[in-house]
Structure 1
């Protein structure tokens, strides 16, 4: 399996960012890491190994990006600074990572995927920019970071703004009225996966219901148990990516 390491100074983030790339052809996948995790964790957790057959067959070309969650959602900055830093990260993906992918892979399709908070990143960017993606897979994720749950706090400490609203998929999808965006969403292959005992189950059900109300086709899979661990993600990627 081809493996390549890339690093460059990001103008969008003002720091060096790293990426691991697996494979050399196929549909590119931007794979977002879990909460505050690193670009190499999916490899260490054998999630990439589970994808080896599809990567070696030239079906998937996987780009494991790094996170800056400790500078955004989990920073000590103000709630507004947290969401603005997150937007810097979104711009890094849009203006640096995707052009980088396009330079080395001519494939017209693009998948956004992630686990846990990475699933939030994957779904949020795909729903906000549906014309750029053809498929999104969110695994074990929550899609409204303003909700307080056992062991998972409101990441904005009760603060709310339009900027936060338009970055919480459960909220903005439920009220979506832009027909242009809706048409593009309906072309997107959407897969949501969550465990029956996962704290984020109800939030996933809410997002699925919002999509149904908009008549946006999607697949929603509920696994047994919590299903919020690498051993589950190793099986999920085989089925859904």
Structure 2
């Protein structure tokens, strides 16, 4: 399997990060790591191997990003609003460095799928909602989509609101909602076993599915059984089941 990595920095001079790339051709999929993960996490935990046939067949090309979580959402010593403001640097890196690299590689009109597990699922969903022009599909495995539940404290302002899908999806309306209904597809997958409740992933996944249904946004909810934990073996099986339909 062809793979390489590239060190990228946003043109504005923001922080640099690594992108690990697997494959030679196919539907571009931008992968966000779990909390604090790096660009090689997806491969290291067998996720690339779980869909190796799709990669080798040229149906999908995986672009696995670094996280900036330690300085943003996981910086629990900071109030939530400041964490959200710091997240803007990560968003800038993704939009201004990662997306141009993907489009240079796969074509200027490439429609990129977002994908992530655990905290990566939050990023996959949030980026797709905020930038559905770039990311028309989000594949989200065992995510918690409410940053307010992540040891959140302090006053909250616009930075938190506009990066909290639980908040802004509930208030979508008008032309923008109509556009999202035509444009965006969301897959929500979660087990019902160990750690899916303590991480908040299971209730958050159910809640997000209800919000999407209320807004008539195209989505699919796939809940696996009580024997399926919040862990990499689960996500490998879930990815192997679902990714073929998106590439």
Which residues of 2 match residues 89-238 of structure 1 at below 5 A? Answer: 89-106=90-107, 108-147=110-149, 153-154=150-151, 156-197=152-193, 198-199=196-197, 200-225=201-226, 226-238=228-240
Shift, 1:125, TM fit: 0.6
Structure 1 alignment gaps of length 5 or more = 148-152
Report the Cα distance in structure 2 between the residues aligned to 1:72 and 1:170, rounded to whole angstroms.
Answer: 19
Stretch of structure 1 that moved more, 96-105 or 70-79:
70-79
Aligned to 2:73, the other structure's residue is in SS state: coil
Q: How many matched pairs?
A: 235
Instruction: Say which SS state the counterpart of residue 143 (structure 2) adopts.
Output: coil
| Runs of 4+ deviating beyond 6 Å | none
Once the two structures are TM-superposed, the CA of residue 62 in structure 1 deviates from its matched residue by 0.2
CA contact (8 A) 2:54 2:60 kept: yes
Stretch moving more, 175-184 or 214-223: 175-184
Distance in 2 of aligned mates of 1:38 and 1:110: 20
Q: Measure the CA separation in 2 of the matches of 1:37 and 1:192.
A: 21
Cα deviation per residue 1:81-110 (whole Å; 9 max; x = unaligned)? 211111111111111111110001126321
SS of residue in 2 equivalent to 1:130: coil
Partner of 1:61: 61
Rate the CA distance shift 1:181–1:205 in 2: closer, same or farther, 3 A: same
> TM-score normalised to the size of structure 2?
0.89
Matches of 1:182 and 1:89 in 2, distance apart? 28
**In 2, Cα distance between equivalents of 1:81 and 1:175:** 23
Residue 150 of structure 1 corresponds to none
User: How far apart in 2 are the matches of 1:49 and 1:13?
Assistant: 34
CA contact (8 A) 2:181 2:216 kept: no
Please give the root-mean-square deviation of Cα atoms over the aligned residues, in Å. Answer: 1.7
Q: Distance in 2 between matches of 1:126 and 1:12?
A: 22
User: Are the aligned partners of 1:140 and 1:227 in contact in 2 as well (CA < 8 Å)?
Assistant: no
Cα gap change, 1:238/1:95 in structure 2, threshold over 3 Å: closer, same or farther? same
Deviation at 1:118, TM superposition (A): 0.3
**Cα distance in 1 for residues equivalent to 2:154 and 2:15:** 30
| Paired residues for 1:76-91 under 5 Å | 76-91=77-92
Tell me the TM-score normalized by structure 1: 0.91
